[in-house]
Amino acid sequence: DTEVTQTPKHLVMGMTNKKSLKCEQHMGHRAMYWYKQKAKKPPELMFVYSYEKLSINESVPSRFSPECPNSSLLNLHLHALQPEDSALYLCASSRDGTEGEKLFFGSGTQLSVL
């Protein structure tokens, strides 16, 4: 069982809605990640937080807004999304975001934008 917990598991939202995805880990990891995964495709990196600071933003549109309130929590705020943003959103954590670490993934939030 994964030690990275994501909520909700499923989310349906309209293009004018505002919603948030939540992620929590209690492994003492100091790096947390958001990935986006389309069906039958590999996960694509969106954001990396290391020690609660945003260290990587892979040119993600501003309608996706990450937040790291503390080292255990990671949120992804969604606003004015498009249907093409429908995907599985995966949260992951690792020891501290430095060289060559394994990532531990949650089960994801399956997002549908109508």
Partner 1 sequence: GESVGLHLPTLSVQEGDNSIINCAYSNSASDYFIWYKQESGKGPQFIIDIRSNMDKRQGQRVTVLLNKTVKHLSLQIAATQPGDSAVYFCAESDSGSRLTFGEGTQLTVNP
Q: Which residue among 25, 71, 93, 94 contacts partner 1 (CB under 8 A)?
A: 94
Contact assessment for residue 38 and residue 91, using Cβ atoms and an 8 Å cutoff: no
Closest approach, Cβ 112 to partner 1, in A, equals: 14
Q: Is 53 in the site for partner 1 (CB under 8 A)?
A: no
Q: Which residue among 74, 103, 111, 113 contacts partner 1 (CB under 8 A)?
A: 103
Rounded Cα distance between 100 and 114, Å, is 38
Residues pairing with 94 in the sheet: 31
Report the residue count for the chain.
114
Rounded Cα distance between 18 and 97, Å, is 29
Q: 113: closest CA among 11, 8, 37, 22?
A: 11
Comparison of 17 and 72: residue with beta carbon closer to partner 1: 72
Q: Is 86 in the site for partner 1 (CB under 8 A)?
A: no
Name residues contacting partner 1, limited to 5-34 (CB under 8 A). 31, 33
Phi, psi values for residue 35, rounded to 5°: -120, 150
Q: Is 76 in the site for partner 1 (CB under 8 A)?
A: no
Point out which residues bind partner 1 (CB under 8 A). 2, 4, 31, 33, 40-45, 48, 50, 55-56, 90, 92, 94, 97-108
